[in-house]
Amino acid sequence: MDIIQFKDKLFEQGKQMGFLDMEVYYQKNGKFSTKIYKGEVDDYSIANDGGISLRGIYKGQMGYAYAEKIDADSIQLLLDEAIDNANILDSEDQETIFEGSPSYEKLDLYSEKLDLLSSEEKIDLAKQLENECFSLSDKVDSVNYCVFQELNSERMIANTKGLEVSEKGNVAYIFVSVVVKEGEDIKNASKLTLTRDLSSFEPALVAKEVVNEALSQLGADSIESKKYPIILKNKAAASLLQVFSSSFSAENVQKGKSRLQGKLGREIANEIITIVDDPHKEDGFASRSFDSEGVATKRIEVVSKGVLNTFMHNLKTAKKDNVTSTGHGSKGSYKGTIQLSPTNMFIEPGETSYDDLVKGEREAIVVTDLQGLHSGANPINGDFSLAANGYLVRDGKIDRPVNQITVAGNFFTILEQVETVGADLEFTLSNGYIGSPSLKIKSLSIGGK
């Protein structure tokens, strides 16, 4: 039985059993994964999973159920379980089933060429990447991770109010981590690449970037404690934005868990800062034309030239604020409940290159990575105190690497004190696809020697 036949029979039988309205959420995932170690396949797997969930209004309450199999037996099971669930729930939150948006963007998230790539070709690409890393320096002690994954997914939302939308996509996920060693000094660096077009992936260039980054950290030492001008490099800036992206969630604002409560329409950052959430970004890992409630997605400027424009909403939070949903309803799988999360969120890049940011500083610290983000940062008030690595800049040049330092400050103060936005936008993958260019910040407190 295909999903359309299954849906039609489920709705027909559900109406006969007394359901007022019903909705199904169908999801199917596939994953190919291989890990290379010293030229050999260290791990290899192919996995498929998925299923269908039902939610329906029965005697005034919303009931929920899910099943893994799409067959006739699952229809009765889903309906019976949803009725049982509705009978024991007594929620004050009045849930609704969405009738659909007027139109939906057509996105090309699926690459047939990537899908047809053989397992041998994927393994060879990972082997080539590892080999390139070892070939660049005799100081490369190990490539502790060299992973190629292909992820593919299909999803559909349909309900008795006439909504029926579906989408499929795939992406290649390539991660490499290199360890370099000089005497007793050991350093590492890593890089994640996400792409639907493997013709644009050049193992030699990726290997050179990650190996050079690791080598540049050899000989690192701490530095005098004081306030320094800071260049927050793109990956570090993106990881910081990721931690505090929850501040822009309407749910957190409504619960008093965001410092941005009551600040809509007000200036919260330097006018050179614009923060975008773009679910239609062509190369975005989290791109989608509709959210997990069937609401059409759209590009929004959460912060526009320093001014807080909007929060991210799902249907529930939008109803509470008497606004329309921004299409940020999300759930981790067909089994999950509706949450709220960003898609492709990023700080819009400027025009200044990273090299020019460095050239403009007499003395500064480049912060390349931040550690302990989930324990050393307070997502509600914006405060953070984090271990960090980076470089000391003197007279417009990288002088030496630094480590064993702590950087402390406040995320929202940083937004106000950004002096220059770089052009080197880069993304990190966590709770959405979060990106930032390098940011020149007036000063932050550095704890060192």
Provide the pLDDT for residue 396: 97
The mean pLDDT of 345-349, rounded to a whole number, is 98
Edge-to-edge order in the sheet of strand 433-436: 307-308, 300-304, 275-277, 344-347, 433-436, 426-429
* pLDDT over threshold 90, residue 405: yes
The mean pLDDT of 376-405, rounded to a whole number, is 96
Look at phi and psi of residue 404 and say left if phi exceeds 0, alpha if psi is from -120 to 50, else beta: left
Protein fold of 3-206:
PmbA/TldD fold (3.30.2290)
- Tokens for 147, please give them: 């992973």
The 10s digit of each residue's pLDDT in 85-110 is 999 876 666 678 999 999 999 999 99
Q: Which residue has the higher pLDDT, 441 or 92?
A: 441
Domain borders along the chain are 3-206, 220-449
| Alpha helices, H only, 89-186 | 112-115, 119-136
Percent of the chain with pLDDT strictly greater than 70: 99
- For residue 11, the Cα-to-chain-centroid distance in whole angstroms is 34
Burial class (CB in 10 A: 0-12, 13-18, 19+), 224: exposed
The 10s digit of each residue's pLDDT in 151-185 is 999 999 999 999 999 999 999 999 999 999 999 99
pTM listed for this prediction? 0.94
> What is each CA distance from 40 to 76, 130, 139, 193, 248, in whole angstroms?
48, 10, 21, 21, 45
The 10s digit of each residue's pLDDT in 265-306 is 999 999 999 999 999 998 899 999 999 999 999 999 999 999
Residue 27's pLDDT band (cuts 50, 70, 90): very high
The string of DSSP codes covering 162-213 is S-EEEEEEEEEEEEEEEEEEETTEEEEEEEEEEES-GGG--HHHHHHHHHHH
Provide the pLDDT for residue 96: 80
* pLDDT over threshold 80, residue 425: yes
Q: What is the mean pLDDT of the chain?
A: 95
